Amino acid sequence: MDKLNIATSIMTLALIAFAVVKGYFSDNKKQDEDMVQMKASCELKHKAIDQNIDETKRVLVLIQENDLKHIEYRVGEIEKGLIKIETILEERLPFKQSEE
């Protein structure tokens, strides 16, 4: 009976030790896999964010160029209008200096 109790105790201890070791390494392996997946996910997110930033920069440059072209066009139109007004005023209103 003593031998049976000792054998049972040894087997129980061995199974407990095996379960503890397996649980420890199993958790570490799962955590390592999770970390690899999280790292890959972060890299993909960073790439997507970088692409969004680059696209936003490109769009802002286009907007700035468009605004400058638009302003240049408007200034040109204003200059044309001023030349027309000057011409009309010169024709309609005599200058005092030219009369003297």
- How far apart CA 46 and CA 76 sit, in angstroms, is 45
Chunked mean pLDDT (size 10), the chain, 100 residues: 85 90 75 87 92 91 78 88 89 65
pLDDT on residue 33? 84
Tokens found for residue 7: 């054998």
Residue type for 94, please? P
What is the tally of helices (H) and strands (E) in the chain?
2, 0
pLDDT on residue 98? 54
pLDDT on residue 63? 81
